[in-house]
């Protein structure tokens, strides 16, 4: 659904909000997914959404608003059909993230956290999206598009605006931001296993470990390979740490150093 008249929270949505409340031992723990559900219906966290969640949970509107304005995945302005986030943190910026954002901003004629006139794309500058091994990266409705360039990013948003199918680099085919918000609320769309979930860069360490016969130590067992003199059990490691701490404290006392202030005992 694109921008336009904001639909009200109907009885079906209220029933789903109550369903979310029932999934937690304490109903107020459902507030985060409830806000995602509100966004999936109304395109943002509206005043109606805040008031409805507050009434259902027995909270004040100030408490709900405090949560909605604290987390960056909630918005008080109506989002476009697609949310495009460009990472411009250190590595992505060095690899071209800033250039990608500027190119998209010019191409779409919008600034940060603004939506195109046709309501199709909301553009946002991200600090970090935890995908440095694929830099520069952007997301569309929280799905990753890896190793982008200014040219590929422009082609991407043009395809989105034209309604063409777009496959995420590591995830499902792109649907819409509101569809993604519904999934984040806790209502599955049956597409969790669509597309690859990990790429070559993420799996490089695993491949090296397999080639060299490395494996993680068993839980509760000893670490390292058999016969490895550096192997320690959890208990041995804790005992060694305690011993070293005691030795450090003894050295400090014998030197007359003031551990807290760094002064001499003669001061």
Q: Output the CATH code of domain 11-70.
A: 1.10.10
Mean pLDDT in the chain? 87
User: pLDDT band at residue 18, thresholds of 50, 70 and 90?
Assistant: very high
Q: What is the pLDDT of residues 210-241, one digit of tens each?
A: 999 999 888 875 544 444 544 456 666 667 66
What lies within 8 Å, CB to CB, of 172 at 6+ separation is: 143, 191, 192, 194, 195
* Contact present, 65 and 32 (Cβ < 8 Å): no
pTM of the model: 0.76
Q: Out of 3.60.70.12, 3.40.30.10, 3.40.47.40, 3.30.1330.10, which CATH number does the structure's domain 82-176 have? A: 3.40.30.10
For residue 115, list its beta bridge partners: 122
pLDDT at res. 248: 65
For residue 123, list its beta bridge partners: 84, 114
Rounded to an integer, what distance in angstroms lies between the CA atom of residue 218 and that of residue 99?
A: 46
Q: What is the pLDDT of residues 39-90, one digit of tens each?
A: 999 999 999 999 999 999 999 999 999 999 999 999 999 999 999 999 999 9
Q: How many residues does the chain have?
A: 267
**Domain boundaries defined on the chain:** 11-70, 82-176
Angstrom CA distances, 230 to 59, 82, 209, stand at 55, 52, 19
Token pair 């969790």 in the structure block, residue: 192
């Amino acid at each position: 659904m694109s921008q336009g008249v904001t639909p009200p929270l109907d009885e079906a949505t209220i029933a789903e909000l109550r369903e979310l409340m029932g999934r937690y031992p304490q109903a107020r723990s459902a507030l985060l997914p409830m806000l995602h559900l509100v966004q999936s219906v109304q395109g943002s966290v509206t005043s109606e959404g805040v008031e409805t969640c507050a009434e259902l949970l027995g909270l004040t509107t100030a408490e709900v608003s405090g949560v909605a304005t604290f987390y960056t995945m909630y918005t008080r302005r109506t989002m476009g059909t697609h949310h495009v986030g460009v990472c411009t943190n250190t590595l992505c910026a060095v690899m071209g993230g800033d250039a990608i954002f500027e190119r998209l901003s010019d191409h779409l004629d919008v600034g940060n956290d603004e939506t195109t006139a046709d309501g199709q794309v909301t553009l946002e500058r991200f600090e970090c999206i935890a995908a440095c091994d694929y830099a520069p990266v952007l997301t569309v409705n929280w799905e990753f598009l890896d190793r982008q360039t200014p040219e590929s990013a422009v082609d991407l948003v043009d395809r989105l605006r034209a309604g063409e199918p777009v496959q995420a680099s590591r995830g499902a085919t792109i649907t819409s931001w509101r569809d993604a918000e519904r999934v984040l609320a806790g209502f599955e769309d049956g597409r969790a296993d669509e597309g690859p979930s990990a790429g070559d860069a993420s799996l490089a360490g695993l491949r090296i470990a397999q080639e060299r016969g490395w494996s993680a130590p068993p839980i509760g067992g000893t670490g390292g390979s058999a016969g490895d003199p550096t192997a320690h059990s959890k208990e041995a490691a804790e005992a060694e740490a305690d011993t070293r701490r005691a030795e450090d404290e003894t050295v400090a006392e014998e030197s007359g150093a003031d551990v807290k202030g760094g002064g001499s005992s003669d001061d």
